Amino acid sequence: MSLYPDSGYEASTYIYTYTCHEDELPLAQLELRMLFGFEPQSRCIESARRIEPSRSPFIKQRLDVLLEGASLPELARQAASLTLKEGTTFKVVYVDTDGQVDYDGARAIERELGRHIRGTAEMRRPGLLFGAARANGRWVLGACSIPEPVWLRHQKKPQHYSTALSTRVARAVANIAVPEPAGVRAIDPCCGIGTVLVEALSMGVDIVGFDINPLAVRGARANLAHFGFPDVVAIGDIRELEGSYDTAILDMPYNLCSKLPPQEQLAMLASARRLASRAVIVTTEAVDPHLEQAGFRIADRCVVRKGAFARQIIVVT
């Protein structure tokens, strides 16, 4: 098998690992359900869907499966069939899918497979990174992709809100709302300073934002410009917006000192239902009865906690 950066090879099976803090596990699982279409049963996900690891704040690695065998020796024999382009260096890393292999064992696996691949090993800056793992009862070897934590860069935006979503949560919410960006039009009708907009645009989502507060819109524009994104925001009241979108992301206004009156909650949710048939609602308050009155059906949900503070992420159709 010939394998090098410009070979055009694409795998048909992909293995993902993910990691998160215990408090974020419900959010991570909801995001992964939306991205892959099923409930992860372990920290290892196998799918035919190819997702860029940097899209998710929780995906740790993606392995593009090239070879598989019933045992490590069988996989090592198959690794000898890999032919790298002359001058291409490589490195093999063990991808931990079950926590059953210790440090020394992982290094031994890497050495065993590495000595069978015909090429030049390079530990610091390899041209190709291979990953080896045990997954679903067999051993696999393939190209390994490590995500870039894009959302961490977005923390350094010029405008901030104390009650805004973290960039990590905002990125997950954008993925929950738009798991497949191709052909999808999205709206954030109460966008604030644009935290969700920045994450969505960085993943290629076609999205626009509105906010009733001119100062918030000004802040969102500053943040978008800071990261080189187009100005997709405008002043607008969710109750007066027009148009039809595939999905909406509605982060319900949150105030430390007062609650949004029930009539206003219902009006906002009804407006979101008018704009899109599918939505992701972010709320600190119980809004289930209002969702039903607005014509939504709850499809999935989770709670994101930070200490004693909790937000609900609700997927509705």
pLDDT at residue 295 tops 90: yes
Q: Give tens-digit pLDDT for 224-263.
A: 999 999 999 999 999 999 999 999 999 998 765 557 788 9
C-alpha count within 13 angstroms, C-beta hemisphere, residue 86: 0
150-316 in CATH: which number? 3.40.50.150
Q: Give tens-digit pLDDT for 114-173.
A: 999 988 999 999 999 999 999 989 999 999 999 999 999 999 999 998 788 999 999 999
Cα(242)–Cα(136) distance, integer angstroms: 49
**Average pLDDT for the chain:** 93
Q: What is the pLDDT of residue 114?
A: 95
Q: What is the fold of 2-145?
A: VC0802-like (3.30.2130)
Q: Give tens-digit pLDDT for 18-51.
A: 999 888 999 999 999 999 999 888 889 999 999 9
What tokens were used for 268?
A: 């906002």
What tokens were used for 272?
A: 């979101």
Cα(297)–Cα(145) distance, integer angstroms: 37
Q: Give tens-digit pLDDT for 166-214.
A: 999 999 999 999 999 999 999 999 999 999 999 999 999 999 999 999 9
Cα(317)–Cα(315) distance, integer angstroms: 7
Q: What is the pLDDT of residue 6?
A: 43
Q: What is the pLDDT of residue 9?
A: 54
C-alpha count within 13 angstroms, C-beta hemisphere, residue 35: 28
Q: How confident is the model at residue 4 (pLDDT cuts 50, 70, 90)?
A: very low
Q: What is the pLDDT of residue 85?
A: 85
Q: What is the pLDDT of residue 258?
A: 56
Domain ranges of the chain: 2-145, 150-316
